[in-house]
Amino acid sequence: MYVTLKLGLTRLACVYNVHLVRNIKKLTMNEFSKKENLDQLDRKIEEFKSRKKENRPKRLKVQNDGWRMVIELVTGMVLGVSLGMALDYIVGSEPIFLIVFSLLGFMAGVKTMISTAKKMNETNN
């Protein structure tokens, strides 16, 4: 009985070792394939980032230029309206200076927008 138990355990150990060797081969093969997959994924990510960087500055520049022009117009209007209201309050007249300076602020904002558009046109060409 002792001999059969020992033979059974030896056989079990041999089967277990064979199974371990097969799994190690699978693991090493899987590690190589995983490394290749990771390398391919890294290349794809780098390609995507490079394409994104090429397109991004143009789009952001256009958005920034648009916001710049809107802010210039609004700033001119705000300054004109606030100056007109202040002068109306100081002088005591009702809407005279408010109307005049709001129109002047609007014209100043449009003039600034036009000069900015000319500068952007020159830099793009």
The domain locations on the chain are 2-124
pLDDT of residue 26: 57
Q: pLDDT below 70 — which residues of the chain?
A: 1-33, 52-60, 125
* Strand, helix or coil for residue 57: helix
Q: Is 97 exposed, middle or buried (0-12, 13-18, 19+ CB in 10 A)?
A: buried
pLDDT of residue 45: 85
CA distances from 79 to 76, 89, 109, 111, 112 (A): 5, 15, 10, 14, 13
Separation of alpha carbons 123 and 73, rounded Å: 21
Q: Mean pLDDT for the chain?
A: 77
One-letter amino acid identity for 38? Answer: L
Per-residue pLDDT of 61-89, as tens digits, reads: 777 888 888 999 999 999 999 999 999 99
